[in-house]
Amino acid sequence: MSKATLTITSRNYGSWSLRGWLLARFSGIDFAEKIRADDPAVRAELLLLSSSILVPSLEHNGLRVWDTLAIAEYLAEVRPDAGLLPKDIARRTHCRAICGEMHSGFTSLRSSLPMNLKGRFPGFQLWSRPQADIDRIKTIWNECLGAYGGPFIFGERSTADARYAPVVTRFRTYDVAVEGACAAYCERILALPEMQEWTAAALLEPDAIEEFESEF
């Protein structure tokens, strides 16, 4: 297979880019990174003002794949032994369901608590709509960790963990209280070598997006 190219945006703010990058790293595929941080269209995507999300995108073997659900499915096909999807059909179906829920839902969480790895907002005021999203995510985590025994959402590390990793960073940034198994899961995700690498690079980014730097 030829070396892949993964196009990403800001590491500090780009939750979709983090998902795509983690998927590529979890898959073990050999890839180079291309950064598109200064494109106005990328800024629109980060601010949820774009009707489509075209970054991250993966180029591999003459194919271009965008949208993180499609990237996950493609990588699961070309690297079937990487464990991006559980082998058991019931677990795999459940994984796809909660990944789809994250992909298309939780809009209040996204808009009220944008990803910002450099930011810290202790005592952040949560309103009812993002709180409902947070409660639902905790329910998903508790159900899966209880049913499959951890240490990751479906036992072994999978696409679900890449999907929910940006949420873990949001909980830290905005001082969202987590308890028990959910707290242990958050610590586990943040301690992953891949997350440590991504975060270290994010902290070196010089640019800031003003809209993401205010308490609101």
Show the 3-state SS of the chain.
CCCEEEEECCCCCCHHHHHHHHHHHHHCCCEEEEECCCCHHHHHHHCCCCCCCCCCEEEECCEEEECHHHHHHHHHHHCHHHCCCCCCHHHHHHHHHHHHHHHHCCHHHHHHCCCCCCCCCCCCCCCHHHHHHHHHHHHHHHHHHHHHCCCECEEECCHHHHHHHHHHHHHHHCCCCCCHHHHHHHHHHHHCHHHHHHHHHHHCCCCCCHHHCCCC
> Can you tell me the distance from the alpha carbon of 15 to that of 9, in angstroms, rounded to the nearest whole number?
9
Structure tokens at 181: 């198994």
pLDDT in tens, 146-166: 999 999 999 999 999 999 999
Which of 19-23, 126-130, 160-164 has the lowest average pLDDT?
A: 126-130
Terminal alpha carbon distance of the chain:
47
pLDDT (average), residues 24-36: 93
> Can you tell me the distance from the alpha carbon of 23 to that of 17, in angstroms, rounded to the nearest whole number?
10
* Sequence spans of domains, the chain: 4-82, 89-200
pLDDT (average), residues 41-56: 60
> Can you tell me the distance from the alpha carbon of 126 to that of 49, in angstroms, rounded to the nearest whole number?
22
The region that residue 10 occupies, defined by phi over 0 for left and psi between -120 and 50 for alpha, beta otherwise, is: beta
The domain 89-200 is placed in CATH, from the list 3.40.50.1460, 1.20.1050.10, 3.40.50.720, 3.40.50.300, at 1.20.1050.10
Say what the pTM is: 0.90
> Can you tell me the distance from the alpha carbon of 127 to that of 169, in angstroms, rounded to the nearest whole number?
19
pLDDT (average), residues 108-128: 93
The whole-number pLDDT of residue 131 equals 96
The whole-number pLDDT of residue 215 equals 44
Q: What percent of the chain has pLDDT over 70?
A: 87
pLDDT (average), residues 127-136: 95
The whole-number pLDDT of residue 3 equals 86
The whole-number pLDDT of residue 47 equals 54
* Class level of CATH domain 4-82: alpha beta
**What are the C-alpha distances in Å from 130 to residues 45, 59, 94, 108?**
20, 35, 24, 5
The whole-number pLDDT of residue 9 equals 86
Query: Is residue 214 pLDDT above 60, yes or no?
Result: no
Structure tokens at 182: 């959910």
Q: Are 186 and 151 in contact (CB under 8 A)?
A: no
The whole-number pLDDT of residue 50 equals 47
* Cα 135-138-142 angle, rounded to 5 deg: 140
